[in-house]
Structure 1
Amino acid sequence: MAHHQFYTLSNGLRIIYQPTVSTVSYCGFTVNAGTRDEFSGEFGMAHFVEHLIFKGTAHRRSWHILNRMENVGGELNAYTAKEETTVYAVFLEEHLSRAVELLCDLVLHSQFPAQEIEREVEVILDEINSYKDNPAELIYDEFENLLFSGHALGHNILGEPEELLRFTSQDGRRFLRQQYIPSNMVFFFMGHTPFKRVISLLEKYIGGEPEGKGINHRVAPGGYTPFAERRILDTFQAHALVGNRAYSMFDERRVPLFLLNNMLGGPGMNSRLNIALREKTGCVYTVESSVTSYTDTGVFAIYFGTDPKKVDRCLSLMHKEFKRLRDTALSISQLAAVKKQFIGQMGVGTENRESMALGLGKTFLHYNKYDTLEESFRRVEAVTASDLLEVANEILDEKSISTLVFV
């Protein structure tokens, strides 16, 4: 089938379209607003808004919103990140009009009814408490809070309880008016419906809205001081996160970093850290690394859980792998194998159609384009052994690595 198509409404709403042969469709809005777009005193507002837009609009009560897609077997969902919020639906092709109209109603006309706020804030508070009971997840937030100390990127997406309890209907509507506007959003669609039909529906339900301008007060994080902290949580298993600041989503060095990350602690059971920390020594059950890129910085992080008595041994083994990657360039055959594995994983990943659809929105929001899989493969193939060596010596530099351990 044809590749992606693009269109921009007169009010600035950008649309990205991916045709498929499936009768199951995915569509939604990706908003250029997340946790780092909150002002002081309103931490958690982006996530609060994401929750409350399902609780009532100028045209619907929460019950009607809940049933609008569910009654035809579809799904309605949303999530908040540090730099984006996404609201989307999954449904059979014949229900596209229903989905588009509902999504437009949510992002344009949500009212944040006062009687719903107290109940939903309790739900969010339970979510926060549940999160605190899961150190394997909590450690990621705590690590970023230290990595970006004092900066908006370090704030927990869920917010702070004392601030959440102060949020009002007026606060929610203000944030919506400031950020959920056509020029600050992308509409993504993946399905079988012709592109002209998708455009026509968006013209009908959101085309008359003014362009506006989102409030963007983002500033790049300041200087970074590496840290090494151990916190006593009195848990049965120790949890550790080791990492560094990394590259922004616009930095070309991201591609060799992705390869390095995949080789070091990616999903393959043959990753270097899985071999060193699990297969050879039995020190851990899980070890994994990840790369998160923001518009002006990024995070490289490695997580593992182990017996508290084995933390230092795990860290020592990990740093040995770092040194190998800093000191020795990959051979031609090793580099080819690393690329082949990563490209294969990228291809297999396209089978997750929901993840692909969500990626459409985020990618088009920030890059105003979307590369084909073949173009992505070519960028991977262009990486050299010296590229990997350079990135390893920067990101895995012992002097700039930080460590956080929960014991």
Structure 2
Amino acid sequence: MYTKVVLNSQLSPIFAHQLWNNFMKHNIITLANGIRVLHTYIPYTRAVHCGFVLHVGSRDDGQQPGMAHFLEHILFKGTARRKTFHILNYLESVGGDLNAYTTKEKLCLYASLAAEYAGRATELLTDITFGSVFPEKEIEKEKQVISEEIDMYRNVPDEAIFEDFDELIFPGHELGHPILGSKQSIHSIRREDIQAFVGRHFSGDRIVYSIVGNVTEKQVTRLVDKYLRPLQLPAPAMKRTPPPPLQAQIKSKPIATNQTHEILGGRSYPFRNRKYIPFLLVNNLLGGNAMNSRLNLNIREKYGLTYNISSFFSPYTDSGAWGVYFACEPTNHGRVRRLVMRELRKLREQKVGVLRLNQAKKQLCGQLTLSYENLLTQMLSNAKELLTFGEVVPFPTYLSWVEAVKAEDLLEVANELYQPEAISIITYEGNTRLNGHSLAGEAESKSATLTSS
């Protein structure tokens, strides 16, 4: 099977590229209105994944944090042709899935369904993306829904701390704003604000319609001519400001939980920086999505001090963020932090050996491969690449970039980003009196006192 051959790590890079070019051609159509259509024909599947990906996210909210995410919600609440129920039922009635999400830099509306219904999905997605009417009644209702969503995330420490960390390392900048906004900013949104936001940001140059699956180029061309080509869109008005330099910040606050939560980290590299791939490897070694990471082995497994510990790397178009998150019993907080700093120091001072480096490369390539085997993921990531960089990089190219990394590259990025004086820290200080062991001990102490008296 093609999927077993093209991604085999034993293939030469040249042969892998040849296979990729034969089986995974991307057809890009640029329309007069600026929209780019990105089509990847996959003959071995019976499904299709398609969607609009827009180069607009929470960093473009302006003076109303949460606007892009609010728009994501309200786009499903009615068009000139459909009410909410008809939007939600149109694809689900044939077994399809309709969804959307907002990130710091992108807004994605997409569908997955049987390939025979590609036309149905394209028509619906076009209608809700460009034909929504933003009913006043639905706007007011959705304000309450999103307020509940905000409460849901703020009530979970291991969710809320990531928002507060972004605010800490991007102070006063749009990248530091919560994607959902605040209750105050959400309740200030009016219908005219939504219309103005769409008018500013829905220009064709910021939109890609991506379609991956068992749909031929001829079929896609017909859909494009019928639904996308006639669209009249506003003129380009793209303007983003990169964040200013950061001085390390330290912030803590008490919370009523029996665990202390902490993120320590800082700024990192943007997409396509030459150090992006080496730092992907460093992050994976440190605490990436694997049980053999250094943080997991040397802190959780060796000492049993934490259940949840990991590292992350969040690149953007002009900046990025990295961090280590952990949660532990408050009495163990200082020790866990010291152990984390020790692992960062090791990466700064000790070159990764040849064997371990090769293992790390294989692991990262394998993780990327599994992710890219998901056609929905492929559809969305291809569109994001095209929007951000003007091209779609062949997957084998990514693998070759990973293979080209040297141990010296890992040392370089670790020394640039993991210096103690550059690390910002945010801590949610748990209450030891809420810990079950402390309460039990307190009860035993009281019992002993009563008995002795």
Flag whether TM exceeds 0.5 (same fold).
yes
- 2:148 aligns to what? 126
Deviation at 1:163, TM superposition (A): 2.0
Matched, 1:295 2:336: no
Q: Which segment drifts farther, 234-243 or 80-89?
A: 234-243
Match of 2:51 among 23, 28, 52: 28
Matched, 1:91 2:91: no
Q: Distance in 1 between matches of 2:54 and 2:256?
A: 40
Contact between 2:199 and 2:234, CA under 8 Å: does it hold in 1? Answer: no
Q: Distance in 2 between matches of 1:200 and 1:9?
A: 13
Contact between 1:247 and 1:297, CA under 8 Å: does it hold in 2? Answer: yes
Q: Distance in 2 between matches of 1:112 and 1:305?
A: 42
Deviation at 1:98, TM superposition (A): 0.7
Q: Distance in 2 between matches of 1:327 and 1:196?
A: 57
User: Residues 120-158 of structure 1: CA distance to partner in whole angstroms, max 9, x if unpaired?
Assistant: 111100000001111101111100101000011100110
Q: How does 1:121-160 map to 2 (within 5 A)?
A: 121-160=143-182
Contact between 2:204 and 2:234, CA under 8 Å: does it hold in 1? Answer: yes
- 1:251 aligns to what? 273
Q: Distance in 2 between matches of 1:199 and 1:36?
A: 33
Q: Distance in 2 between matches of 1:291 and 1:193?
A: 35
- 1:307 aligns to what? 329
* Stretches of 4+ aligned residues off by more than 4 angstroms: none
- 1:223 aligns to what? 245
Match of 1:202 among 213, 224, 229: 224
Deviation at 1:200, TM superposition (A): 2.2
Greater helix content:
2
Q: How does 1:3-402 map to 2 (within 5 A)?
A: 3-20=25-42, 21-40=44-63, 42-402=64-424
Give the letter for the 1:22 counterpart.
T
SS of the residue corresponding to residue 178 of structure 2 reads coil
Report which of the two structures shows the higher radius of gyration computed on alpha carbons: 2
- 2:433 aligns to what? none
Give the letter for the 2:318 counterpart.
D
Contact between 1:34 and 1:84, CA under 8 Å: does it hold in 2? Answer: yes
Q: Distance in 2 between matches of 1:55 and 1:257?
A: 41
Q: Distance in 1 between matches of 2:245 and 2:393?
A: 33
Give the letter for the 2:48 counterpart.
S
User: Residues 141-195 of structure 1: CA distance to partner in whole angstroms, max 9, x if unpaired?
Assistant: 1001010000111001101212211212222222122222322201111101002
Deviation at 1:216, TM superposition (A): 2.6
- 2:17 aligns to what? none
Contact between 1:183 and 1:211, CA under 8 Å: does it hold in 2? Answer: no
User: Residues 319-364 of structure 1: CA distance to partner in whole angstroms, max 9, x if unpaired?
Assistant: 1111111111112222111111111111122233322222122122
Q: Distance in 2 between matches of 1:142 and 1:188?
A: 33
Q: Distance in 2 between matches of 1:217 and 1:371?
A: 25
Deviation at 1:211, TM superposition (A): 4.8
Give the letter for the 2:398 counterpart.
S
SS of the residue corresponding to residue 257 of structure 1 reads helix
Q: Distance in 2 between matches of 1:196 and 1:248?
A: 37
Q: Distance in 2 between matches of 1:216 and 1:36?
A: 12
Q: Which segment drifts farther, 258-267 or 159-168?
A: 159-168
Deviation at 1:296, TM superposition (A): 0.6
Q: Distance in 2 between matches of 1:196 and 1:172?
A: 36
Give the letter for the 2:387 counterpart.
L
Structure 1 residues without counterparts, runs of 5 or longer:
none
Q: Distance in 1 between matches of 2:30 and 2:159?
A: 38
Contact between 2:305 and 2:336, CA under 8 Å: does it hold in 1? Answer: yes
SS of the residue corresponding to residue 203 of structure 1 reads helix
Q: Percent identity?
A: 37
SS of the residue corresponding to residue 392 of structure 2 reads coil
In the superposition, relative to structure 1, how do residues 353 and 63 fare at CA in structure 2: closer, same or farther (>3 Å)?
Answer: same
CA RMSD, aligned part only?
Answer: 1.3
Deviation at 1:197, TM superposition (A): 1.5
- For normalisation by structure 1, the TM-score amounts to 0.97
Contact between 1:182 and 1:209, CA under 8 Å: does it hold in 2? Answer: no
Give the letter for the 2:212 counterpart.
M
User: Residues 186-243 of structure 1: CA distance to partner in whole angstroms, max 9, x if unpaired?
Assistant: 1111101002321321221121223533433310111201112221012111111111
User: Residues 227-271 of structure 1: CA distance to partner in whole angstroms, max 9, x if unpaired?
Assistant: 122210121111111111001113110000000000000111110
- For normalisation by structure 2, the TM-score amounts to 0.87
Q: Distance in 1 between matches of 2:235 and 2:246?
A: 32
Structure 2 residues without counterparts, runs of 5 or longer:
1-22, 430-453
Count of residue correspondences = 406
